[in-house]
Amino acid sequence: MIEAPSVSYTGLSPVLFVFGAALIGVLAEAFVPRAYRWGVQLTIALGGVLGALVSVALIAGREELTISRAVAVDGPALFLEGTLALLGLLSILLLAERSPDMGGSAFVAQAAVPAGTALDRQLATHARTQTEVFPLASFALGGMMLFAAANNLLVMFVALEVLSLPLYLLAGLARRRRLLSQEAALKYFLLGAFTSAFFLYGLALIYGYAGTVDLRGIFDQAAGTDKSDALFVIGLAMLIVGLLFKAGVAPFHTWTPDVYQGAPTSVTALMAACTKVAAFGAILRVLYVGFGNSDWTWRPVLYGVAIVTLIVGSVLALTQTDVKRMLAYSSIAHAGFILTGTIANNQAGLSSTMFYLLTYGLTTIGSFAVVMLVRDADGEASHLSQWAGLAKRSPLVAGVFSLFLLALAGIPLTSGFTGKFVVFRAGLDAGAGPLVVVALLASAVAAFFYVRVIVLMYFSEPAADGPTVAVPGMLTTVALAIAAAATVLLGVAPGAVLDLANQAAQFVG
């Protein structure tokens, strides 16, 4: 007879808030009249993430394993849940942007209508908006939170699917350039399914080795048995592949540019910021809790992977001409920087990685929010040549984007510098000197393509029929303001948040 496990609702409240919002959103989609639906859905989604934020603040410091040790409530889980809630809040603000100045809603009203048909053309000019995005985003966010908090490989796999499926859908919902968007969604889905299989296979092999899917149990088993190590090692490798795919780490990065470019920009912001946080949260937990004592096996591999990621991300970004693709490669390079801290396998590695995730997420959402603003007749003007001389037309937007680019490049007095500093220090202290050197060289290369955009905006003549800069609606303005303020604040006075990350850097179990 199976006993029902005890559930700590308090400890799970952040996740429950977001999942609750998602479920209520589904009901609202069914029962609320169309005229009110947008406002109601937005309120529900925002209520979910705000509730999660508040409950994270209230239960900070709590440590327990609940639902039969399947889900952890501890410092890293709560810090990352808080980070995800904050980034999710900004993403939802961007998803909700539908001011006519910005072409109305960014989402197609009926995703199933084939692109290019008469109905599709009719919908493109129609005012109808899509509100399923809110519950979808809430589901994805809830999955992400669970992904980072799962103390059990099976729960982690379920969370992986819960976070992935809504994202596959969201990626295909673009109202303009629908074929590109649908292609992105399909690619993301195919490759995501492919790597999910890897993850699941790895899980099975580990179970075969350890007889348990509990991370602590795996840790204990790895400590000393005489079973064949081959199962263990191959299983670990496959788990890593599945996790690195979600984090957009080379050589599992190939989906990133295509999907980031094709998906609606607000969805790209959600993916780039939140998925990265969740994926690295899971990587940290799996490697530190489950395989912390066998780090001599995985550290050299991640070491090499990090170098490849740094090179691929920063070098490939050099020749990009599309701002969204450039930011995609930038996010790959950033995954490499994060790995520099992650491989430390100690408290400093944990806290620096979490801090970096927060700074990177905020800056990235801000960057994509700016990309949403620069538009021409066909929607967003994402080709870099169209950004020439932007500062002359719109100094404020150019200035804010420059701030984000400088932060991504890791220039002092921005959050990017602080983040890079802490992960590099963690890597250096853990003996990864050569990797840190590569990372520094990569950031030098990366600085080129960030600064090139700034040069383009400030020192080039504007194109004759260049894009206009839309006046952002209130929601986008709020998101941009929060992202910009945090980027500066975490660069100038990062002490409090660094302390918070340090205090939170202790896994339970």
Show the CA angle centred on residue 153, arms to residues 151 and 157, nearest 5°: 115
In the complex with another protein, the residue whose CB is nearer, 165 or 311, is 311
DSSP string, 172-209: T-BSSSHHHHHHHHHHHHHHHHHHHHHHHHHHHHHHHH
Query: Binding of another protein at residue 260 (CB under 8 A)?
Result: no
Nearest-angstrom CA–CA distance, 229 and 208 = 11
Site stretch for another protein (CB under 8 A), options 29-37, 49-57, 61-69, 183-191 = 183-191
Helices 295-317 and 433-459: crossing angle, nearest 10°?
Answer: 20
What are the residues facing 72 on neighbouring strands?
Answer: 65
Query: Binding of another protein at residue 305 (CB under 8 A)?
Result: yes
In the complex with another protein, the residue whose CB is nearer, 312 or 397, is 312
Query: Binding of another protein at residue 195 (CB under 8 A)?
Result: yes
Query: Binding of another protein at residue 191 (CB under 8 A)?
Result: yes
Residues of this chain, 226-255, that bind another protein according to CB under 8 A: 229-230, 233-234, 236-238, 240-241, 245, 250-252, 254-255
Helix (H) / strand (E) containing 415: helix 415-429
Length of the chain equals 509
Query: Binding of another protein at residue 434 (CB under 8 A)?
Result: no
In the complex with another protein, the residue whose CB is nearer, 14 or 235, is 235
Query: Binding of another protein at residue 451 (CB under 8 A)?
Result: no
Max CA-CA distance within the chain? 75
Q: Please select the residue that binds another protein; options are 12, 312, 479, 490, rule is CB under 8 A.
A: 312
Nearest-angstrom CA–CA distance, 269 and 154 = 28
Q: Is there a contact between 44 and 95 (Cβ–Cβ < 8 Å)?
A: no
H-state helical runs in 211-228 = 215-223
In the complex with another protein, the residue whose CB is nearer, 75 or 257, is 257
Q: Please select the residue that binds another protein; options are 147, 209, 288, 298, rule is CB under 8 A.
A: 298
Q: From residue 198 to residue 217, what is the string marking binding to another protein with x (rule CB under 8 A)?
A: x-------------------
**Which of 380, 386, 383 lies closest to 320 in space, CA to CA?**
383
Query: Binding of another protein at residue 316 (CB under 8 A)?
Result: yes
- Contacts for 243 with CB less than 8 Å, ≥ 6 apart: 199, 279, 282, 283, 286
Site stretch for another protein (CB under 8 A), options 290-298, 349-357, 372-380, 479-487 = 290-298
Site stretch for another protein (CB under 8 A), options 72-80, 271-279, 317-325, 419-427 = 317-325
Q: Is there a contact between 396 and 477 (Cβ–Cβ < 8 Å)?
A: no
In the complex with another protein, the residue whose CB is nearer, 214 or 258, is 258
Nearest-angstrom CA–CA distance, 133 and 123 = 17
Q: Which residues bind another protein (CB under 8 A)?
A: 186-187, 190-191, 194-195, 198, 229-230, 233-234, 236-238, 240-241, 245, 250-252, 254-255, 257-258, 296-298, 300-301, 304-305, 312, 315-319, 445, 448
